Amino acid sequence: MIETQKPLPPGQRRIGTFPRFGTHMSRPAPAVPPDPTIEVCGAVGERFHVPVVALATLPRREVRADFHCVAGWSATDLLWEGVPFESFFRQLIAPAVRDDAVVTHLVFRGIDGYQSTVMLEDALAEDVLIADRLSGRPLGGDHGAPARLLSPAQYGYISTKHLCRIEVHTSEPEDPDSASITARLLKSHPRARVWEEERHGSLPGRLVRPFYRVLKVPLLHLSARGPRR
Ligand SMILES: Nc1nc2c(c(=O)[nH]1)N[C@H]1C(S)=C(S)[C@@H](COP(=O)(O)O)O[C@H]1N2
Ligand SMILES: [Mo]
């Protein structure tokens, strides 16, 4: 039988597995508190907490998608399940937003301190989930327990694992380190759309490909290690 595989976005290569990857490097996945919640704060009247168990009671859907890391690997045909971010936003966040506020950006934060900034428009895309299941099983520590953002049309760095807080913003939040030289060199693209190859904040994606490619193998190796939870 001939299997035709879907094309990958520019500059990506298929990897046979779904590796654990991240700035956590070899540190183990963070401990999940006994009753995990997702805190919503920022341009909302008062901050509030959504228990992760409440995801089971919201509208749910499955998303089958490829996952693309900016370093150049793509894990293909993953089956995720969770709450569409759009439903989460419309049902829980929008009613709490201050009257005078127009939401433009969201910051998604993980228990490990990682965070990603996402434009509202990108976060509301129909394939974006707060995912709590992968391959028919609850999300494990490697891939973001107890729940993570999943935005398959954007590079993996947008998809914050171990989600514990969503900050609601009315303008692009400033990165406190953005003035440093390293921050400028490493500046990731704010939209990160994989089909546009938006890898870098100011350099064309094609140009930075080779740098990521050199780093990919050692980073894959480092991120994978460490005791599993
Ligand atoms: N909390 C947290 N989320 C994170 C990261 C991280 O280090 N910590 N790394 C990001 C990057 S760069 C990628 S490619 C994906 C990798 O997801 P995976 O480990 O499930 O493959 O997670 C993203 N979300
Ligand atoms: Mo990544």
3-43 per-position pLDDT tens digit: 667 899 999 999 999 999 999 999 999 999 999 999 999 99
Q: What is the pLDDT of residue 229?
A: 45
Closest listed residue to residue 159, CA positions, set 10, 20, 6, 14 = 20
Q: Which ligand gives the minimal distance to the CA of 159? A: 1
Q: What is the pLDDT of residue 200?
A: 96
Question: Which residue ranges in the chain fall short of pLDDT 70?
Answer: 1-4, 225-229
Q: How distant, in Å, are the alpha carbons of 97, 127, 213, 222 from that of 100?
A: 8, 29, 45, 46
Supply the Cα-derived Rg of the chain in whole angstroms.
17
23 Cβ inside 6 Å of ligand 1 = yes
Which of 32, 159, 162, 200 gets mutated to test ligand 1 (max ligand atoms within 8 A of its CB)? 159
How far, in Å, from the CA of 20 to the mean position of ligand 2? 10
Domain spanning 2-20+35-219 has what CATH number? Answer: 3.90.420.10
**Where do the structural domains in the chain lie, given as residue ranges?**
2-20+35-219
Closest listed residue to residue 118, CA positions, set 164, 73, 168 = 168
Q: Is residue 213 exposed (0-12), middle (13-18) or buried (19+ Cβ within 10 Å)?
A: middle
Q: What is the pLDDT of residue 182?
A: 79
161 Cβ inside 6 Å of ligand 1 = yes
112 Cβ inside 6 Å of ligand 1 = yes
How far, in Å, from the CA of 161 to the mean position of ligand 1? 6
Which of 112, 157, 164 gets mutated to test ligand 1 (max ligand atoms within 8 A of its CB)? 157
- 112 Cα nearest atom in ligand 1: 1
